[in-house]
């Protein structure tokens, strides 16, 4: 049995929670696929589309009314956690919960106020749909409250609780929504959404109240003033989300105008594969990496060490996964969707560097968040969103779906250059030689595999691609096993 060598716990920590949250994200994705399949069976295409509209409305109102509290509170909570001041932490928990309740009430007012406009926009003013939109208000309010509870756990590094909550909520949502779909059809959609959201709130509270009994101060002047710095930090996040949502909606309008709804559907499938599904490896970034980075935001050297470490692990984990997706893309599309979606394969292939480069850009991009520079974060996000919109739109105009995939990859390259140069000057970020060497090595493997998948016949592609997958896995395994005890522990358990 191989001896487990004493090493830094930090890399073990990164791998451990990337694995935990990646697994949880995979479970959530699986539950979502099952829920969507059953929804399409019991509700039909009309019900499936109705659920998508309700989800879009809820996301728009929630992101507009939560005042950026989930992000801002994690950053401040991480600093208090490092200080070890229990009294300050308890007081701040009360501040977060109080402001979350105010944001929840704001969301209800906003939903009721905007419901006529939203009904006109999505349902051409149909009277019955006006009441349906109003019934979304309780769901949105509850979602804002449990987002505040989740931020408390993330800031205090209760990451196992966060992962457990996510897994329980994924299963609970499936179990509570499908019976309503089966028994009530379209009439059960809103009831299922509210009931499942109430259950999610209950799960969050069951994990947080034992740590901090529920206390709020809705009419406390002290609590109000204590939360104002959070709002000043959080509002730019809200504006950034609005810009991002607006650009995404405009892009969909452009694609639909130039082609059809079917083409837009293919774009969404390819985007989902390369961003949502492949991105499960990044699911630990917000829950684990952001609090850790926030805790060292005053030290340039420590900050660079944490960022470089996260980049190395992210690159070594995501590269083999992307190679598997490149080589077996047609098989994956047939399994997850239908053969009708095979035309999305070329776009998904060309978008591979979008996902790969995110393993580098996301850790660097969190620097502004960790340092509380919300205005700079908003500016970087706005510039990226606009450039991304232009690159994808122009790529599609000239090369179709493949051009859209190329536009996605180019937008990620632009984002890397933008934040790499900007944050290098402002925050003195430096990529180490070791990090650059690992990233370049995996970049060459991904690029070679992409060329093989685009140019060579299927038989040669599968043989050569499988060799590249094995090489990338060996490269990642060699690095991770040398630098971390986690791989050795897993290997020793398998040998038993």
Question: Is the pLDDT at 301 greater than 90, yes or no?
Answer: no
Clarify whether residues 187 and 267 are in a common domain: no
Question: Is the pLDDT at 448 greater than 80, yes or no?
Answer: yes
What is the average pLDDT value for the chain, to the nearest integer? Answer: 80
Question: Is the pLDDT at 79 greater than 70, yes or no?
Answer: yes
Clarify whether residues 297 and 184 are in a common domain: no
Question: Is the pLDDT at 1 greater than 50, yes or no?
Answer: no
Query: What pLDDT was estimated at residue 71?
Result: 78
**Per-residue pLDDT band at 59 (split at 50, 70, 90):** confident
Clarify whether residues 60 and 87 are in a common domain: yes
Q: Above pLDDT 70, what percent of the chain?
A: 79
Domain assignment present for 390 = yes
Clarify whether residues 142 and 271 are in a common domain: no
Number of neighbours of residue 386 by Cβ within 10 angstroms: 14
Clarify whether residues 191 and 239 are in a common domain: no
Domain assignment present for 378 = yes
**Per-residue pLDDT band at 105 (split at 50, 70, 90):** very high
Q: Distance between CA atoms of 48 and 215, rounded to whole angstroms?
A: 39
Q: Which of 186, 219, 252 corresponds to the end of one domain?
A: 219
Q: Find the mean pLDDT for residues 445-463.
A: 90
CB 18 within 8 A of CB 6: no
Query: What pLDDT was estimated at residue 412?
Result: 92
Please provide the DSSP assignment of 250-299 as one string. HHHHHHHHHS-HHHHHHHHHHHIIIIIIGGGGGTHIIIIIHHHHHHTTT-
Clarify whether residues 466 and 319 are in a common domain: yes
Clarify whether residues 172 and 255 are in a common domain: no
Alpha helices in 124-188 (DSSP H): 127-134, 137-155, 159-184
Residue range of the domain that includes 177 = 7-219
Number of neighbours of residue 158 by Cβ within 10 angstroms: 18
Number of neighbours of residue 45 by Cβ within 10 angstroms: 8
Clarify whether residues 409 and 444 are in a common domain: yes
**pLDDT tens-digit readout, 260-283:** 656 666 777 777 777 766 666 666
Q: Find the mean pLDDT for residues 273-297.
A: 67
Instruction: Choose between 41 and 74: higher pLDDT.
Output: 74
Q: Find the mean pLDDT for residues 248-259.
A: 71
Domain assignment present for 227 = no
**pLDDT tens-digit readout, 82-102:** 777 788 889 999 999 999 999
Q: How far is CA 140 from CA 106, 109, 146, in A?
A: 10, 11, 10
Query: What pLDDT was estimated at residue 6?
Result: 36
Clarify whether residues 134 and 279 are in a common domain: no
Q: Which residue has the tokens 């620097």?
A: 367
Domain assignment present for 11 = yes
Instruction: Choose between 11 and 242: higher pLDDT.
Output: 242
Q: What share of the chain is helix, strand, coil (3-state, %, to 5)?
A: 90, 0, 10
Please choose, from the candidates 143, 215, 423, the residue with its C-alpha nearest in 3D space to the C-alpha of residue 311.
423
Q: What is the dihedral of CA 177, 197, 78, 85, to 10 degrees?
A: -130
Domain assignment present for 228 = no
**pLDDT tens-digit readout, 41-50:** 676 655 655 7
Please tell me what DSSP assigns to residue 136.
Answer: T
Clarify whether residues 86 and 200 are in a common domain: yes
CB 406 within 8 A of CB 270: no
**pLDDT tens-digit readout, 144-200:** 998 999 888 888 878 778 878 888 888 888 888 888 878 777 777 888 889 989 999
Q: Distance between CA atoms of 9 and 304, rounded to whole angstroms?
A: 17
Q: Which of 185, 219, 253 corresponds to the end of one domain?
A: 219
Question: Is the pLDDT at 332 greater than 60, yes or no?
Answer: yes
Question: Is the pLDDT at 121 greater than 80, yes or no?
Answer: no
Clarify whether residues 372 and 495 are in a common domain: yes
Clarify whether residues 305 and 333 are in a common domain: yes
Q: Find the mean pLDDT for residues 23-38.
A: 65
Domain assignment present for 443 = yes
Question: Is the pLDDT at 136 greater than 60, yes or no?
Answer: yes
Please choose, from the candidates 38, 342, 359, the residue with its C-alpha nearest in 3D space to the C-alpha of residue 181.
38
Query: What pLDDT was estimated at residue 260?
Result: 65
Q: Which residues are CB-contacts of 495 (< 8 A; sequence separation ≥ 6)? A: 1
Domain assignment present for 477 = yes
Domain assignment present for 95 = yes
For the chain, the C-alpha Rg in angstroms (whole number) is 23
Q: Above pLDDT 90, what percent of the chain?
A: 23
In this structure, is the dihedral angle defined by the CA atoms of residues 334, 283, 49 and 399, taken in order, positive or negative? negative
Q: Which residue has the tokens 């699911």?
A: 283
Q: How many domains does the chain have?
A: 2
Q: Find the mean pLDDT for residues 436-465.
A: 90
Q: Which of 219, 254, 269 corresponds to the end of one domain?
A: 219
**pLDDT tens-digit readout, 369-383:** 778 787 888 889 889
């Amino acid at each position: 049995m191989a001896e487990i060598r004493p090493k830094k716990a930090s890399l073990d920590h990164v791998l451990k929670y990337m694995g935990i949250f990646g697994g949880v994200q995979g479970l959530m994705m699986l539950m979502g696929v099952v829920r969507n399949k059953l929804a399409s069976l019991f509700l039909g295409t009309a019900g499936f589309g109705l659920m998508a509209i309700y989800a879009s409305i809820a996301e728009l109102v929630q992101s507009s009314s939560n005042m950026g509290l989930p992000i801002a509170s994690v950053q401040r909570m991480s600093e208090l956690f490092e200080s070890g001041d229990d009294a300050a932490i308890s007081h701040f928990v009360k501040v977060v919960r109080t402001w979350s309740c105010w944001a929840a009430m704001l969301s209800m007012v906003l939903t009721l106020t905007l419901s006529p406009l939203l009904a006109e926009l999505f349902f051409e003013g149909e009277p019955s749909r006006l009441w349906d939109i109003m019934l979304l208000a309780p769901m949105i309010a509850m979602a804002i409250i449990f987002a505040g509870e989740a931020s408390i756990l993330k800031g205090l590094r209760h990451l196992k609780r966060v992962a457990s909550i996510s897994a329980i909520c994924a299963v609970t949502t499936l179990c509570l929504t499908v019976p309503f779909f089966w028994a009530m059809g379209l009439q059960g959609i809103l009831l299922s959404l509210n009931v499942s959201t109430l259950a999610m709130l209950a799960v969050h509270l069951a994990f947080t109240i034992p740590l901090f009994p529920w206390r709020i101060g809705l009419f406390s002047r002290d609590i109000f003033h204590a939360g104002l710095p959070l709002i000043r930090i959080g509002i730019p996040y809200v504006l950034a989300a609005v810009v991002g949502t607006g650009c995404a909606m405009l892009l969909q309008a452009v694609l639909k105008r130039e082609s059809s709804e079917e083409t837009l559907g293919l774009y969404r499938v390819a985007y989902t594969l390369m961003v949502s599904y492949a991105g499960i490896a990044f699911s630990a970034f917000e829950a684990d990496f952001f609090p850790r980075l926030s805790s060292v935001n005053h030290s340039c050297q420590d900050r660079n060490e944490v960022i470089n470490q996260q980049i190395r692990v992210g690159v070594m984990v995501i590269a083999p996964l992307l190679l598997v997706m490149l080589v077996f893309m047609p098989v994956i599309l047939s399994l997850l969707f239908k053969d009708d979606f095979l035309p999305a394969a070329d776009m998904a292939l060309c978008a591979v560097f979008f996902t790969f480069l995110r393993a580098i850009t996301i850790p660097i991009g969190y620097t502004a968040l960790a340092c509380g520079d919300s205005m700079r974060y908003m500016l970087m996000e706005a510039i990226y969103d606009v450039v991304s919109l232009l690159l994808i739109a122009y790529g599609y105009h000239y090369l179709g779906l493949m051009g859209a995939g190329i536009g996605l990859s180019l937008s990620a390259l632009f984002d890397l250059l933008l934040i790499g140069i900007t944050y290098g000057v402002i925050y003195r970020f430096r990529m180490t030689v070791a990090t650059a060497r690992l990233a370049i090595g995996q970049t060459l493997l991904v690029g070679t595999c992409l060329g093989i998948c685009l140019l060579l016949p299927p038989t040669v592609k599968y043989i050569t691609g499988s060799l590249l997958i094995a090489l990338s896995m060996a490269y990642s395994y060699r690095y991770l096993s040398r630098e971390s005890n986690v791989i050795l522990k897993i290997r020793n358990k398998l040998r038993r």
